[in-house]
Amino acid sequence: MKKPEKGTLLLAEPMLQDPNFKRTVILLCEHSETGSFGLVLNKELPLLLNEVLPENDLPELPLFLGGPVQPDTLHVLHSAGEKITGAIEVAEGVWWGGEFEDIKTKLSLGLCNTTDFRFFLGYSGWAEEQLQDELDRGGWILGRCNSDYIFETEPEKLWRKILKDMGGEFAQLANYPENPHLN
């Protein structure tokens, strides 16, 4: 995979030390010549959805940090597909957004399984050409999305698992020490 597109996974290269993106996996939900929008898949927050939106009758679902941009916004990925009005398919079996009232109703009535949803505060964004510049400098590894990565894999194991699944030189990177100076 040479160029990013909607549904691409961005894996932080092992030497990236930026605390916002160290060992992160980001799903690109939008990518165009005007910019890119993605959600970090593997940074779980010590908060639950019903703690952030207490006035709503929502289940106790974990929240994830989608990225450092607009951390007061709520985003959702799910595998409920067209059951959710207005949802956009970003990868096979992975849908982004939809009408929040529809999501709340279906979750509270048990019409959708809670394990099929991931909620995020904030997002990761890139201006025009910014993501391509970062890719050209070697800051990201491109991967293919698999819905199991989002809804089945433990977040703290995600970065390594994807690299191992990619095989070859990428599998070797999965074992790169977090702090090579201590090695």
Residue tagged 């639950």 (tokens): 48
| The token pair that represents 59 in the structure block | 């289940």
Nearest to 143 by CA among 52, 57, 16, 27: 27
Mean pLDDT of the chain: 92
Query: What does pTM read for this prediction?
Result: 0.93
**pLDDT score recorded for residue 1:** 53
Predicted local distance difference test score (pLDDT) of residue 181: 56
Contacts of 43 (CB under 8 A, 6+ apart): 24, 64, 65, 155
The full set of domains in the chain, from first to last, is 8-176 (3.40.1740.10)
| CA distances in angstroms from 178 to 16, 18, 26, 174, listed in the order given | 10, 12, 18, 10
Q: Tell me the β-bridge partners of 68.
A: none
Q: What is the pLDDT of residue 88?
A: 96
| pLDDT score recorded for residue 179 | 64
Specify the amino acid at residue 15. Answer: M
Q: Residue 180's pLDDT is what? A: 58
- List of the chain residues with pLDDT < 50: none
What pLDDT was estimated at residue 18?
A: 85
